[in-house]
Amino acid sequence: MNTEFIAGSKAKVTFDVTPEKFKETLDAAFEKVGKNVSVPGFRKGHVSREMFNKQFGEASLYETALDLLCDEFSKEIFANKEIANKVVSQLIPSVDGNLDAKEGFKLVFTFDVFPTEFEVGQYKGVEVAKKNTEVTDEEVESNIKSILSSKATISEKAEQVIAKGDTANFDFEGSVDGKLFDGGSAKGYEMEIGSGQFIPGFEDQMIGMKAGETKDVNVTFPTPYAAKELEGKAAVFKVTVNSVKETKLPELTDEFVLSLKRDDAKTVEELKSAIKAQLTASKEESEKNRQIDEVVNKILDATKVELPQSMIDNFTNDYKSRYEQQAKTYNIPLETLLQLSGMDMKTFEENAKKIGERQALFQVVLDKVATIEKLQPSQEEIEARAEELAKQLNQKASDVLKNRFNAIFSEFIYNKFIDLVMSNAKEI
């Protein structure tokens, strides 16, 4: 087996097939093919090699023999870990020259590999914006308001006049140019006024209306809008208010805090402190992820390398497959799922390609840095992680190691890479 790396991202592995090796493989090919051959005077599967050659010619075995050789040599290539870890495409076999059973021939496999001859972008000392984990009093108050709102009660309002924040029950009919349009009418519709559920301006015009009152609400459909035929059109909604409810928030007291049965707060002040701590932890995690994204993207932007198209295609297809699988789960066409996500097919294809290219670039950079910095995990680290997963999955560690070795190995490489670049990053 002779291995040659070409232009940084392609490889060629050549095997010498001697006449003796080819004869041996032809014998194996006959054993495989002969089982299904019928020749007059012989039972099916019992034809002699001599009769087979007379009837069909030995050359009829060449294709099967080549398949057997390709299978054998492919296994040999992947048994070589140094090569196998670099393969990113299918192996493409070909015969170099003529297939000569008497003189022998060369069987060549070409395939794409991780690019090796390139300079990775600076990955130590990358500048990154400082973390901002300050939690303001306004954020704490907003969180507390959400807690109070979750415990709020809704009841009929004494004065049946709509104010912002009230819940109104109403009927409406919408028309454009004096004609009702599909989906523009409803009875007994309930909505919190000011929640922004309707077209801009609709809810504001309902403030001050009384139960039993009917009023024309004039609005203009925004652009863009889900119903294309209504984009930018002026519309009139005939609105009749049926009833008005008000939301009452509980009072923020120590007694209310106790009713929440939280382990970290028994008083109002403790609740505020606990919420601030939670928000700070959340911001810490968010800022950590933001910094990682910033540093990694700067490294990728500074790296210039020609990526194998097969590698880009693999990541692109993985991205598209996730959407296709999601559409199948919901039992809807892919186009419908994309529309719900605010995309058309063209945008989806463009996004898939960009993401595929970026993920391929990241994988190449990760592999390069891991090689330079020797980030490979030790056997002890891998076995310890397998033990940890085994407990979580209620499986044997040996089974986890067997079935998840590649995933565990990749997880370590990724984490070691992130630790390396972030510990060397410079906040500015």
Is 203 in a helix, a strand, or coil? helix
Domains contained in the chain, number: 3
What's the pTM value of the predicted model, to 2 decimals?
0.71
Task: Assign residue 70 the CATH number of its domain.
Answer: 3.30.70.1050
| Domain co-membership, 101 together with 11 | yes
* 149-159 residue pLDDT tens: 999 999 999 99
| Domain co-membership, 397 together with 281 | yes
- Domain assignment present for residue 421? The answer is yes
What local confidence, expressed as pLDDT, does residue 247 receive?
Answer: 92
Burial of 147 (0-12, 13-18, 19+ CB in 10 A): middle
| Domain co-membership, 285 together with 422 | yes
| Cβ 310 vs Cβ 88: under 8 Å | yes
Eight-state DSSP code of residue 89: S
What residues of the chain score a pLDDT lower than 70? 40-43, 45
* 206-233 residue pLDDT tens: 999 999 999 999 999 999 888 889 999 9
| Domain co-membership, 68 together with 205 | no
| Cβ 213 vs Cβ 240: under 8 Å | yes
| Domain co-membership, 211 together with 339 | no
| Domain co-membership, 165 together with 74 | no
What local confidence, expressed as pLDDT, does residue 42 receive?
Answer: 67
Is 236 in a helix, a strand, or coil? strand
* 278-310 residue pLDDT tens: 999 999 999 999 999 999 999 999 999 989 999
- Domain assignment present for residue 198? The answer is yes
Domain enclosing residue 230, as ranges: 153-248
- Domain assignment present for residue 135? The answer is no
Task: Assign residue 228 the CATH number of its domain.
Answer: 3.10.50.40
What local confidence, expressed as pLDDT, does residue 213 receive?
Answer: 98
